[in-house]
Every structure is written in C-alpha cells, then in structure tokens.
Structure 1
Amino acid sequence: MKIKQQTMQRQNSYIILILICFFSQSSFGQDTLRLSRNEFLAIVKNYHPMAFKYRLENRIAAAGIQQAKGNFDPVLDAKTGEKTIDGTQYYQQRNIGLGIPTWYGIEVNGSYSYLDGEKLNNSDTRGGLYQVGVTVPLAKNLLYDKRRALLEQAQIAQRMTEAEQTVLTNELMLEAENSYWEWVKQYELYLLQRETVNINKERLALVIKTFQYGEQAAIDTTEALSQLQNYELEQQDAYLQFVSATQKLSVYLWEEDLKPYPVTEGLIPSERLQNNTDDTQYTDLLAQVDAHTLNGHASVRYYDEKGKILESERRLKLQSLLPKIDFSYNFYNKEGYTHQFFPLFDNNFQYGLKLEIPIFLRQARADYKMAKLKIDQNSLDLAYKSQELATKITGYKNEIYNYWSQIGIATKNMDNYKRLLMAEQSKYANGESSLFLINSRENKLIDAQEKILELRLKFLKSYNKLKWTNANFDSSVALR
C-alpha cells in the first residue's frame, strides 16, 4: 500500500511538472510600443498617401484658377522683316503691339509699326504709324463669354473640389478609426482569454493539490485540464485575430517620407473600449449634428457647386443663340505729325462692323437644351443626396441610442453572471457543487464579457460614422 502511494505521488509530481511546461505562455515584453487613437489618426491625416493625394487635388484646382486667369493676360507681339530682290528693296517693316482683353469682352489694343520700301501696296502707310483700337461685341459675348465662364467655373470647381476632398478625407479617417477600434477589441479579447487561462491554471493547480490530499476525485483533474486546454485554444485563436487586426491596421500607418511604417509584434493599443470618453459625449455630438442644416454638408455643397458650374455653362450656351456682331475702331497717327483724337470719325481712323449668324441654329439650340437638362439631372442628384444623408444621420442616431441601451442591459447581465460564478465557487468550496457547474458559469460570464466588447465596438463605429459626418458640415451654415 505504501509503495502504491509513493508511485501515485511520483506520478502527480510528473503531472504538475508537465503542466507547468505545457501551459507556460509568452506575453508581451517590456519593450512594447503603445499607440493611442489620437496619435494614430494624426499619422493617417498627415502621412497616408490618400490623404496627401486629396490635398494635391485641392492644389490642382487652385492651379486651374490661375490657368483660367491666363485668358485675361495681355499679349505682347513683335515682328520684323525685309524683302530684297535684285537690289530692289520691296519692303522693310518693324511691328510691336499689345492686346489687352477685359472682363466685359471688350479688347483694347495698341501698336507701333514702321514700313518702308519701293514695292509697297497702295493701302500701306509708309513710315512710322501709331495705332490705338478697341473691339466691342454688341450681341454675342457682350454679357458673358468663354473667358469669363472658364474663370468662374475654375473658381467654383475649387470649392467643389474642396467639398469632395473633405468628404473623401473624412471617409478615410472613419475607416481608419474603425479599424483602430477593431484592433483594440481584438486585443481586449486576447487579454480576456489570457486572464481566463491564468485563472484556470491556478484552478487546475488547486484541484491537483486537493486531489493529492485525497479531497478530490481524479476525474476532477481531467475536468479542470480539459477546460484549461479549451481556453488555451481560445487564447491562441484570439492572439491570431489580434495579429491579423494589427496587419490590417498597418495599411494606415505611414512614415513622413510616404514609406509604410514597419509594424512589429510589440505594437499594442493604449486605449480601451470601456474607458472611452465617447461613451459620455455622445449626447453632445447628437446636439451638434442637430444644429446643422443639410445645406452645410460637404456632399450637398458639392452638388450645389456643380449646379453653379452647369448654370455657367447654360449662360455660355445661351450666347451661341445670339448673332455675333463685333464693332472695331482704330485710331492712327503718323510718326512726326501732330494728332487729334476728336472727332473720332473725321480723320486718321478705321472702323469695322462684323456680323455672323448661323441660319438654323441647330447646334446652338441643341447645346443649350443639353445644358438645361444637365441642370435638371444635377437637381435630382442633389435631392437624392440630401434625402440619403438625412436617412443616414437618422440611422446613425438610432444605432447609437440602441447600442448604448444594449450595453447597459449586457453590463447588468454580466454582473449577474459574475455573482452566479462566485456563488458557484463558494458552493464548490463547501462540497456542494462541481467543476462542471463552475465551468458552465464561467463560460456564460466569458460570453457576456465578449458580448459587451462587441456592443461597445458597434457603438463606437456608429458614433464614428456620425462624428465624421458631422465633420463634413460647414459651421458657417449652422442654424443660429
């Protein structure tokens, strides 16, 4: 009998040694790098290639304005030439001129020319000649023309691009922040499973010790060992999910020189789902959203600015329906002669009147009709976007209220499972329960804890959707 007890003690010692070696788990070292939400979002906003690309789009739009202004730049031209055949100088000329386009379609020009030679045309003026002239559109291009349209459209396009890039940037920030909280959730799940494994290790050690003292049945060690192994599998899976979430997060991590940030295994979040200030500030966010009108949202402003571009195009197409009547007047003065401007049509002048009009105006009428139809299309897009935006905002609000309510219920449920587990452990210590019931209570508690993490993540995702939607509003359009 004594030999049998010594053999059992030796076997129990081996079991304890094997369990210690088998269940030792590696944890994060002391050189871990913690990443907060604000640090992460700052990296995304400043260094992510897409965010940088969106800023470049705004600079391209600003360059478009400068390009359109170039249509109003004065043009300086110069020309010199000479023709001589068989010793006869046909002509020798020098010309310099300046053309100045103005906002209202009127073009002002001036020039100096010198002409001499033995074979000049009868209409040519020998010697130096100064000229000052003006061309005035009397119908088409008087009230509006292509130069004014291009500049106005470029200015509107810049505001349109700014609105579009605001939406795109905030969508990027929304995706990034939700990925961050998904990463936090996976980390917390891993911590939960690791804590559960540690608790079950202690429980197994206690069961083995009580078994050695003859107070527990051998089957209880199997029960405790099976539960521990099950939780260790869950821990390994939770760690794998956390590593996968870390890799997904690395898509948003870039260095200043637009190189991907090397993510190491020691990177962990410094935030927690439960200790987030968004939980208590969601009512303030709801009030801020309610203080805005849909007209101030960047998506709506985009279509509003697009409508202004289409209206500019309609006004330009309308000019094509008008006849082209241009009046030009040039005043001349020969070099070395005294000049007299008035009366304008008495001496030293040239004027012209030019008329152009298509007979059927089919192209002009079609272009104008298409411009009006595009305005109607944009109005429909604007109405749809406004309704879609209003529906989304209402949906986000409902989700926030609903998930917040569910978190409260789930928290109370989790507290109940904690009390049940503690009661079951007390009964087990008094010999009135079993490991099976303890494990069952513990599984229920873990499911409740995981449920709360999932609800908090859903709450934060809905909160972020509304937060970044609110970021798209122009505060200057808010209700007073």
Structure 2
Amino acid sequence: MSRHLLVILAAGIALAPLQAAPAQDLSADTTGVPFTFPAFVDAVLANHPVSQQARLVAEQARAELRQAWGAFDPKLVASWDQKRFGGTEYFKYFDAEMKIPLPIGADVTLAFDRTMGRYSNPDRRTTGDGTFTAGISLPLGQRIITDERRTALRQARAARDAGDAERIGILNKLLFSAAKDYGAWYETWRRRVIAVEGEGLADFRLRAIRQRVANGESAPIDTIEALLELQRRQVTRYETEAAFYIATLNLTAYVWDAEGRPAALPADAAPVLTGLGRGGLDSTQLNRLLETATERNPDLLKVRAKVQQAEAERLLATQGLLPFAEAKLAGLGERGADQPFFNRSRLDDNYKAGLTVAVPMLFLKERGKFGATGAKLEFQEYEQDRLRRDVEYDVRASIFDLANLERLLERQVGSVRNARLLRDAEQVRFENGESTLLILNIRERLVLDEAAKLAAMEAKVASARGALALATGDRSLLTLPR
C-alpha cells in the first residue's frame, strides 16, 4: 500500500529543474501610488468636517469678543415729544445725546436739548436755539478699577484664547485618531504584502518539491508538507486582505473633497513611511518639549483662560466691597453763542453737576459674591496645577515611547536580516540533503513573522507621534521635517 501511495503522491509533478527559492525583500514594497502621511494630514486639515467645525469654534469665540467690545460702542439717542390739546400747544421737547464710554470706566456725554411751548417743565426750558451739553461721569468708588463692561471684555478675551485652544485641541484629537488609523492601514498593507510574498515562496517550493519527488530526490510525503504550508499561507493572505480592506475603509472616512463631500482614497494608494518614520526625537529634547507643552497644550490653554476669567470676576467682586460713588459734571451752552464753549468764566454760570453715593449696610450680597468668586478662582488654579502635571507625564511617556521604538526598530531590522540569513542557510542544507522541508518551512515562517513584527513596530510610530503632538499641542511633531 505504501508503494501505491508514493506513486499517487508523485503523480502530476512538474518536470522543471529544482532551484533555490527566489530571494524576497520583505522590508519594502514599491507597488501602488505613494500616499504619504504628510499628504494625508494636509487633506484631513483642509476638508474634514471636524476641521471645519474647529474653525467655527474659534470664529464663534471671536464673535463673542466683538460683542463684548459693543459695551464701548458710542451710542446716539434722540427723542421727540409733543403735546397739543384744545388748540393750545403745551410743549415740544427734542433731545439728542451721544454717550462715549471710555476704557477707564468714565463716560463722555454730548447732548443737544430744545424745548418749546407755554407749559413746558421749567427745568427743561432752553433758548429758542436749544442748549448744548458736554460732560463726563466719573466713578469714585465701585467701578474705579474695573466694572461690568471691562470685566466682560477681559472674560471675552480669555474666551477667545480658549476658543483658539479648543480649535487646536479638536484638530489634534482628530489627527491623533487619523495617525492611529494611518498606522493600522500601513501595518495591514505591509502584512498583506508579506503574506502574498510568503504564499509565492510556498507555491514555488511546492512545485520544486514535486520535481524532486519526480527525480527520486525527496520522499513523496514532502509534497504533503509543502502543500500544507501553501494552504496555511493562503489562509494568512485571506486574513490580511480582509484586515487591509477594513483599514482602508477606516482611513477613507477621513478623506473629503473641497465641497465637503465624502471622497475616496487616490487610486492604488499605498502608505509609505516618508515623513512618519524613525528619527528626530529622543529623551534629550524633553525640556524643550515640556516647555512647548506648557505654552501650546490646548487643555492647559483652556484652563488658563478659565483662570483669567475667574480672576476678572474676583476683581469685580472686590470692587463690590467699596461704596458706590459717581460724580457727573457737564457744561451748558447756547447754540450760536459768541463766547467759546469751554471758556471758564462762562462755565462758572452754565453747568450741571451731580454726585451719587450708595452704601449697603451689611454688604451681604457683595461679601457672598466675593467668597464665591474666590472659591471659583482657587478651584481653577488647582485644576491648572493638576493638568500641568498630567501634561508633563503625557509628554514624558510619549518621548519614552518614541525613544524606545527607535531602539526596538533597530533590533527588529537586525532580527529580520538574521532570520533571512538562517532561512537561506537552511535552504542550502535542504538542497544538500542535510535538512528537512519542515525545518526549512519553520525558518521561513520566522522570516515572515519577524517582517510582520517590524511592520507593526513601524506602524506604532504613527500612534506615538500622534500622542506626543496631542500632549504638547504641536501637531508639527506628527511628521518629520519635509
């Protein structure tokens, strides 16, 4: 029965001469159109909806700042009031006033009044040509250092800075996710390439073994070993093709055209390490990157803005503990008068003045607001300290991760090279009859496994750079200099 089995296994074997398996370079692939990581980042930043939303967040904060500036917008108010009854004209009042708020808390007022009629209010009577008024109101207690509108402006400026930080944070989180998915796309693409090459090697070896069996140089059972190895690698190729398809779909989700419509990856797009690979960062740059994180980390910038807003509220609440006092002084003049308006001798007899003072007896509301704003400020300062420490840890961890990947990649490149040398040596021994097909297959599996491990490490660089960019707030760290 064994002789019949040997004859059946040897049937159908090709008559090509036996030769060593063709050399395969599993560390690189030149098929497809290169779609570099920097080009991918540019496309995401230009057209992705989240990128557009981030821009709108910053624009909204700037619009709110313009709204806060509106409190300093000069205002012109005019009114006309008339009464006529039973054929008698009681009064006609015309008032026009322009109030100009000043950044120091004072207000400048320019006004024109004209009153006509027999029964007008005596304190509103003017000459026939009307009366001009030019005056100023000054805070003497509360609002002398700050007031509601200056506080609102400070808070709006801080909100603008927070909006810019929010925009950076949204973009960095988007790019961090994109970097991880690009790394996964690269890894599955390399694994597919390695699987295809491994399948080709196994197919070549099966044909060679069949020839050796036909020539009587190998046992027919070696054909089963070679066929099993080919089937194993075909399964691996199917798995890598499915993984690559899913990773490609995930990456395509980041690609949009200029009109805001979903787009596809470029035809035959292939990932490359250009702009993403090794080099450029190590632990010696820690201090510089920590300084960058302090200045640019979006979360730190946002909490710093909240501290500034709380400080503005605290200062306003401090002003509330002072009595309210306001002085008003305005000069009066007739239209068409020959004497200069601001002549001192004329103003001595033509002016309006006023003084308003208000003092709460217990300052309950003011003291409550003072305590609340103080607690709010202290809370934000604690949050800033905590977040600064967290950011420092994140930067240190990201730098360590990148430096460690640098060392691992160097070792892994050597592992792939050494595995290939062992495989080639085992091929020679097999051809000389000093080894078995099983051992040769094991050596070749090691080459494929080490190459796949190298691809996984290379893909991790994308995630590591994304984590560092997220921690520091500097997305230029995503890529190497172009």
TM-score for both structures, normalised by structure 1: 0.86
1:268 aligns with 2:269: yes
Q: Once the 2 structures are TM-superposed, how far is the Cα of residue 313 of structure 1 from its aligned partner? A: 1.2
Moved more, 354-363 or 208-217: 208-217
Residue 54 of structure 2 corresponds to: 54
Q: Once the 2 structures are TM-superposed, how far is the Cα of residue 75 of structure 1 from its aligned partner? A: 0.9
Letter in 2 for 1:42: D
Contact 2:318/2:370 (CA < 8 Å) preserved in 1? yes
Residue 368 of structure 2 corresponds to: 366
Q: Once the 2 structures are TM-superposed, how far is the Cα of residue 74 of structure 1 from its aligned partner? A: 1.1
Contact 1:99/1:110 (CA < 8 Å) preserved in 2? yes
Letter in 2 for 1:166: I
1:295 aligns with 2:297: no
Letter in 2 for 1:238: T
1:174 aligns with 2:173: no
CA gap 1:384/1:361 in 2 versus in 1, 3 angstroms: same
Choose between structure 1 and 2 for higher RCO, CA contacts under 8 A separated by at least 6 residues.
Answer: 2
CA gap 1:330/1:459 in 2 versus in 1, 3 angstroms: closer
CA gap 1:271/1:85 in 2 versus in 1, 3 angstroms: same
CA gap 1:34/1:279 in 2 versus in 1, 3 angstroms: closer
Contact 1:93/1:115 (CA < 8 Å) preserved in 2? yes
CA distance in 2, matches of 1:269, 1:116: 86
Residue 100 of structure 1 corresponds to: 100
Q: Once the 2 structures are TM-superposed, how far is the Cα of residue 187 of structure 1 from its aligned partner? A: 0.2
Letter in 1 for 2:448: I
For the residue of structure 1 that corresponds to 2:321, the secondary structure is coil
Residue 137 of structure 1 corresponds to: 139
Q: Once the 2 structures are TM-superposed, how far is the Cα of residue 168 of structure 1 from its aligned partner? A: 2.8
Residue 352 of structure 1 corresponds to: 354
CA gap 1:175/1:358 in 2 versus in 1, 3 angstroms: same
Letter in 1 for 2:278: D
Q: Once the 2 structures are TM-superposed, how far is the Cα of residue 173 of structure 1 from its aligned partner? A: 1.8
1:165 aligns with 2:164: no
Letter in 1 for 2:257: E
Residue 19 of structure 1 corresponds to: none
For the residue of structure 2 that corresponds to 1:134, the secondary structure is strand
Q: Once the 2 structures are TM-superposed, how far is the Cα of residue 330 of structure 1 from its aligned partner? A: 2.8
Contact 2:293/2:473 (CA < 8 Å) preserved in 1? no
Q: Once the 2 structures are TM-superposed, how far is the Cα of residue 315 of structure 1 from its aligned partner? A: 0.8
Residue 280 of structure 1 corresponds to: 279
CA distance in 2, matches of 1:383, 1:357: 39
Aligned ranges 1:465-476 → 2 under 5 Å: 465-467=467-469, 469-470=471-472, 472=474
Aligned ranges 1:220-239 → 2 under 5 Å: 220-239=222-241
Moved more, 125-134 or 240-249: 125-134
CA gap 1:328/1:383 in 2 versus in 1, 3 angstroms: same
Contact 1:35/1:267 (CA < 8 Å) preserved in 2? no
CA distance in 1, matches of 2:455, 2:475: 31
Identity across the alignment (%):
23
Q: Once the 2 structures are TM-superposed, how far is the Cα of residue 246 of structure 1 from its aligned partner? A: 0.6
**What per-residue deviation string (whole Å, max 9, x for no partner) do you get for residues 114-137 of structure 1?**
211132233331432222222211
For the residue of structure 2 that corresponds to 1:240, the secondary structure is helix
CA gap 1:442/1:138 in 2 versus in 1, 3 angstroms: same
For the residue of structure 2 that corresponds to 1:254, the secondary structure is coil
Contact 2:175/2:466 (CA < 8 Å) preserved in 1? no
CA gap 1:98/1:429 in 2 versus in 1, 3 angstroms: same
CA distance in 2, matches of 1:416, 1:231: 22
Q: Once the 2 structures are TM-superposed, how far is the Cα of residue 37 of structure 1 from its aligned partner? A: 1.2
Letter in 2 for 1:169: L
Q: Once the 2 structures are TM-superposed, how far is the Cα of residue 474 of structure 1 from its aligned partner? A: 12
Residue 441 of structure 1 corresponds to: 443
For the residue of structure 1 that corresponds to 2:322, the secondary structure is coil
Residue 72 of structure 2 corresponds to: 72
Letter in 2 for 1:324: F
Moved more, 279-288 or 374-383: 279-288
Residue 393 of structure 1 corresponds to: 395
Contact 1:9/1:212 (CA < 8 Å) preserved in 2? no
CA distance in 1, matches of 2:167, 2:332: 54
Q: Once the 2 structures are TM-superposed, how far is the Cα of residue 267 of structure 1 from its aligned partner? A: 3.8
Q: Once the 2 structures are TM-superposed, how far is the Cα of residue 193 of structure 1 from its aligned partner? A: 0.2
Contact 2:141/2:322 (CA < 8 Å) preserved in 1? yes
Contact 1:95/1:111 (CA < 8 Å) preserved in 2? yes
CA distance in 1, matches of 2:75, 2:210: 98
Residue 453 of structure 1 corresponds to: 455
Letter in 2 for 1:233: V
For the residue of structure 2 that corresponds to 1:109, the secondary structure is strand
Moved more, 400-409 or 82-91: 400-409
CA distance in 2, matches of 1:66, 1:374: 26
Residue 12 of structure 1 corresponds to: 12
Residue 189 of structure 1 corresponds to: 191
Aligned ranges 1:290-329 → 2 under 5 Å: 290=289, 292=291, 295-298=294-297, 299-329=299-329
Contact 2:292/2:472 (CA < 8 Å) preserved in 1? no
Residue 381 of structure 1 corresponds to: 383
CA gap 1:460/1:277 in 2 versus in 1, 3 angstroms: closer
CA distance in 2, matches of 1:288, 1:177: 25
**What per-residue deviation string (whole Å, max 9, x for no partner) do you get for residues 368-408 of structure 1?**
11111111111111111111111112212222232332333
CA distance in 2, matches of 1:344, 1:65: 43
CA distance in 2, matches of 1:276, 1:351: 72
Q: Once the 2 structures are TM-superposed, how far is the Cα of residue 194 of structure 1 from its aligned partner? A: 0.1
Residue 151 of structure 2 corresponds to: 149
CA distance in 1, matches of 2:156, 2:56: 16
Moved more, 222-231 or 145-154: 145-154
Letter in 1 for 2:269: I
Letter in 1 for 2:109: N
Contact 1:297/1:474 (CA < 8 Å) preserved in 2? no
Residue 421 of structure 1 corresponds to: 423
CA distance in 1, matches of 2:217, 2:275: 46
1:87 aligns with 2:87: yes
Aligned ranges 1:199-278 → 2 under 5 Å: 199-263=201-265, 266-272=267-273, 278=277
For the residue of structure 2 that corresponds to 1:205, the secondary structure is helix
Contact 2:276/2:461 (CA < 8 Å) preserved in 1? no
CA gap 1:122/1:276 in 2 versus in 1, 3 angstroms: closer
CA gap 1:157/1:276 in 2 versus in 1, 3 angstroms: closer
CA distance in 2, matches of 1:354, 1:379: 38
CA distance in 1, matches of 2:352, 2:411: 91
CA distance in 1, matches of 2:292, 2:217: 72
CA distance in 1, matches of 2:49, 2:78: 47
CA gap 1:282/1:329 in 2 versus in 1, 3 angstroms: closer
Q: What is the number of equivalent residue pairs in this alignment?
A: 454
CA gap 1:37/1:295 in 2 versus in 1, 3 angstroms: closer
For the residue of structure 1 that corresponds to 2:103, the secondary structure is coil
TM-score for both structures, normalised by structure 2: 0.85
Contact 1:90/1:117 (CA < 8 Å) preserved in 2? yes
Letter in 1 for 2:115: L
